[in-house]
Amino acid sequence: MAEAIARHHYADLMESSSAGLMALGAIASPTTAVLAERNVPSAGLASKPLTENSRRAADLIINMSGRPGAWMSHDGGPPVEDWDVGDPYGSDLDVYRKICDDIERCLRDLALRLDHKPDR
């Protein structure tokens, strides 16, 4: 959800790519349903694993695993920001909607911080 929302609303501020610790290969149908309700395109989304190459290529890692993400920034890697959002997998649409609301709020906050950097 975060990648799709970021690409749809904040493409001028950030380049988003989503990766997970336990990628399933497919996007859960409730995810695409909630995104469609909000007119956020989900075409091309895929569940991908976080690799060392993708970790090193990032400028910022957003961790939504529910566990502290400090380990992801080891050996001089990019900074990690932990977001306290749940994992809706296996839940009903209302839980997916609530998680989507949380992600949208976090992305709005990140976009405001990025847009107010002195180099912009």
* Domain ranges, ordered by start, for the chain: 2-115
pLDDT band at 118 (very low <50, low <70, confident <90, very high): low
d(CA 65, CA 30): 19
Which has more confidence, 118 or 89?
A: 89
Give the domain 2-115 fold: Rossmann fold (3.40.50)
What does the pLDDT look like over 31-76, one tens digit per residue? Answer: 999 999 999 999 988 888 888 888 888 899 898 888 777 777 667 7
What does the pLDDT look like over 20-29, one tens digit per residue? Answer: 777 777 888 9
Residue 63, helix vs strand vs coil: strand
Percent of the chain with pLDDT over 90: 52
Quick check: 94 pLDDT over 70? yes
Question: Judging by DSSP bridges, how do beta strands 61-63 and 80-82 pair with one another?
Answer: parallel
Predicted pLDDT of residue 120? 43
Which among 39, 52, 45 has a CA at the least distance from the CA of 18? Answer: 45
d(CA 35, CA 40): 5
